[in-house]
Amino acid sequence: MHVTAIGEFLGQSQPAISHHLTQLKNAGLIDCRREGKFNFYALADRGLIPLFEQLFGKVPSLKMQLAGVEVAFRRK
């Protein structure tokens, strides 16, 4: 999703969303790609899998709901 869409979905301002996305990107939890005038963001499994393993231990796969979207991680 791009910042405007995330802001509309969450009911938050674009500057607030951009600030939090920058923090998540710096932590390695999301990836960003530029397309035209928009930055598109996605979850980064390389950052999230180690975090989830610290919280839940090693699991072959993990599914959860985040803001109504099902997110699944699988170990390779």
36 conformational bin, left if phi > 0, alpha if psi -120 to 50, beta if neither: left
Assign residue 21 the CATH number of its domain.
Answer: 1.10.10.10
Span 6-18, mean pLDDT?
91
Q: How many CB atoms lie within 10 A of CB 35?
A: 8
DSSP, residue by residue, the chain:
-BHHHHHHHHT--HHHHHHHHHHHHHTTSEEEEEETTEEEEEE-HHHHHHHHHHHH---SEEEEEETTEEEEEE--
Q: pLDDT tens-digit profile of 21-76?
A: 999 999 888 899 998 988 888 888 788 778 878 887 776 666 777 667 777 766 55
Domain with 63 in it: 3-74
Q: pTM of the predicted model, to two decimals?
A: 0.65
Written as six digits, the tokens of 5 are: 């869409």
Q: pLDDT tens-digit profile of 44-54?
A: 878 877 887 88
